[in-house]
Amino acid sequence: MFAVTILGNNSALPAFDRHPTSQVITLDEHLMLVDCGEGTQMQMTKYKIRRSKINHIFISHLHGDHYFGLIGLITSMGLLGRVQDIHLYAPAPLRELIDMQLRVADTVLPFTLHFHALQQEGTLVREQKFEVSCFRVFHRIECWGFTFREIRPPKKINPKKTLEHGVPSSFFERLKWGEDYTNRDGQIIKNEWVTEPAVKAKSYAYSADTVYDERIAEKVKDVDLLYHEATYLKDLEDRAAKRFHCTTSQAASIARLAGAGKLIIGHFSSKYETLEEFDREVKAIFPNSELAIEGVTYRI
Amino acid sequence: MFAVTILGNNSALPAFDRHPTSQVITLDEHLMLVDCGEGTQMQMTKYKIRRSKINHIFISHLHGDHYFGLIGLITSMGLLGRVQDIHLYAPAPLRELIDMQLRVADTVLPFTLHFHALQQEGTLVREQKFEVSCFRVFHRIECWGFTFREIRPPKKINPKKTLEHGVPSSFFERLKWGEDYTNRDGQIIKNEWVTEPAVKAKSYAYSADTVYDERIAEKVKDVDLLYHEATYLKDLEDRAAKRFHCTTSQAASIARLAGAGKLIIGHFSSKYETLEEFDREVKAIFPNSELAIEGVTYRI
């Protein structure tokens, strides 16, 4: 399972029961949190996200609607007796802020919080089955997007063929990665005789808060699912530009330029009570689009 | 109207749809906020509290469940274009925390936030119709309670008598404060001839998070309404003491010792899903008690 669950889809001002930005990425048994606006921990309870499963947290930038809920979440994890480490990736000043907040409360977390300051584009996490990297986006202050990519062996075992050719199951992992097998008699069993191409590894990109900039399309090229902000409807392109945000049609254009499989838009301005028009506008340009709706899980 | 509205009645971990501590004091046209746990701004929206009317904010201590929602509230007030000053009374380190959070977001508030560090017991605010003072309570870290007192003239005009004695309405304000009136002929109209004793000025005390300590009863002596924390039921007195908190029966004992008119208890531990037992235990000792319930306004 590779999916993203929306916990908050609104921009700065919470409104109409929409919350500031937060998303949970599920990658098999791993949960990863992307941004953490105020109230994220309550949204996790509401949508039954298991906090204890979160080992990686990524914060795109230090506008409050993307991180004011983080210190509460971390503190609660401590109160719940968490002992596993957490890795936090964020702009550098967040470290001192968290340290200060713990210090004034005379609180020592019962787990280790590893702080990784975002400094350059590239890989942040490489685990057996996925990797996460960051890329710069273009906002009023330093801001980062994140790409989540499955790592999958390129080949799938054909059980019938491996049996026929006498390849032992202990060699299957190496077969999946494309190796040939040499049996006891010195015979080479070609990889392609006993495998098939596996399902393509999937990818998701979260491009955070950004002004319209076509360089982003390069950075998220060919992702299966792209989350792009669309704070405003298309008639407010000037306002969007002034505030380093995007409109529906700009988000859709980036998705098209990037060749994304699918687009989700979010970070809706609190000036809009309803969202139907966002849906219409984005689909007019990029039909395979959806609105980020709180509590909904989008499979990748 | 003098009343307190509960926005959050839970202790550190948000649970069972109960939120961390926050209360709004209404004193005629003034709204004042006491503590501001995460999600307070959403609770204000839910319970239709007019943020724009809040000019004074009091933070008892720097445990997150009492202030993590403050920076979000302040930022939102800025986004909404507030221009009136706000006066914030809190332990000193909060100033640097707020400054840092605004700095990293490159945010300048459109209003002036006056920070008043709590340093000694005494009067914080004195307005025409009320005053607010602070007193120390006994928690794991520096922690303050707050008392809100109406200021009322001691006398009420008797319209029939003022007419009889020819006291002009321009003198009524001075009559209310106890002065005699001298008419053009040099005759003295005694204050008591034309007035009656006014309704007693009311008072509310918020004693924040504290371990059981009878000195608190002195500090909140004779208040009309006392809010006292009761994090645990009475069987967990040891745990309460260890964590610098109180039980139901301890809160009730303080109310009785103080001669309070009425008691409200709150700051319930998230270990309790339901609160009926809190109600039973506190009323057994101090019958005129109520539980702090979110969204409910208690008149003083």
What is the predicted ipTM? 0.89
Residue B125 sits in the same domain as residue B226 = yes
Residue B189 sits in the same domain as residue B209 = no
pLDDT bucket at A117, cuts 50 / 70 / 90: very high
Q: What pLDDT does A54 receive?
A: 97
- By residue range, what is the domain housing residue A187? 155-197
How many independent structural domains does chain B possess? 2
Residue B131 sits in the same domain as residue B170 = no
pLDDT bucket at A16, cuts 50 / 70 / 90: confident
Residue A127 sits in the same domain as residue A174 = no
Q: For residue B84, what is the domain's CATH number?
A: 3.60.15.10
For residue B121, pLDDT beyond 90: yes
Q: How far apart are CA B11 and CA B76, in angstroms?
A: 24
Average pLDDT taken over every residue of chain B: 96
Q: What is the pLDDT of residues B26-53, one digit of tens each?
A: 999 999 999 999 999 999 999 999 999 9
- State the number of CA atoms in the 13 A half-sphere of B271 facing the CB: 12
Considering only CB atoms, B38 lies closest to which of A13, A72, A107, namely A72
Q: Which of residues 1-60 of B touch A (CB under 8 A)?
A: 12-15, 19, 38-39, 41-42, 45
Residue B29 sits in the same domain as residue B171 = no
Domain C-terminal end among B197, B229, B253: B197
Residue B140 sits in the same domain as residue B60 = yes
Q: What is the pLDDT of residues A212-248, one digit of tens each?
A: 999 999 999 999 999 999 999 999 999 999 999 999 9
For residue B14, pLDDT beyond 90: no
Nearest C-alpha neighbor of B58 from the set B151, B146, B150: B146
Residue B67 sits in the same domain as residue B187 = no
Cα dihedral B295, B24, A273, A17, rounded to 10, equals -50
Sequence-distant (≥ 6) Cβ neighbours of residue B120 within 8 angstroms: none
Q: What pLDDT does A172 receive?
A: 95
Residue A37 sits in the same domain as residue A182 = no
Residue B163 sits in the same domain as residue B222 = no
For residue B199, pLDDT beyond 90: no
- B65 as an active site residue: the answer is yes
pLDDT bucket at A251, cuts 50 / 70 / 90: very high
Q: What is the pLDDT of residues B47-87, one digit of tens each?
A: 999 999 999 999 999 999 999 999 999 999 999 999 999 99
Q: What pLDDT does A195 receive?
A: 96
B19 and A13 within 8 Å at the Cβ level: the answer is no
Residues A59 and A91 sit within 8 Å (Cβ to Cβ): yes
For residue B13, pLDDT beyond 90: no
Average pLDDT taken over every residue of chain A: 96
For residue B15, pLDDT beyond 90: no
Is residue A221 one of the residues assigned to a domain?
no
Q: How far apart are CA B210 and CA B100, in angstroms?
A: 29
B73 to chain A: nearest residue by CA?
A: A13
A13 and B45 within 8 Å at the Cβ level: the answer is no
Residue B55 sits in the same domain as residue B191 = no
A76 and B12 within 8 Å at the Cβ level: the answer is yes
Tokens of A171: 């060699």
Q: Look up the pTM and report it.
A: 0.91
Residue A38 sits in the same domain as residue A128 = yes
Is residue A183 one of the residues assigned to a domain?
yes
Catalytic residue selected from A28, A35, A65, A185:
A65
Residue B114 sits in the same domain as residue B127 = yes
B105 touching A, CB under 8 A? yes
Domain C-terminal end among A197, A228, A250: A197
Query: Which residues in chain B touch residue A12, judged by CB atoms under 8 angstroms apart?
Result: 75-76, 79
Q: What is the pLDDT of residues A67-101, one digit of tens each?
A: 999 999 999 999 999 999 999 999 999 999 999 99
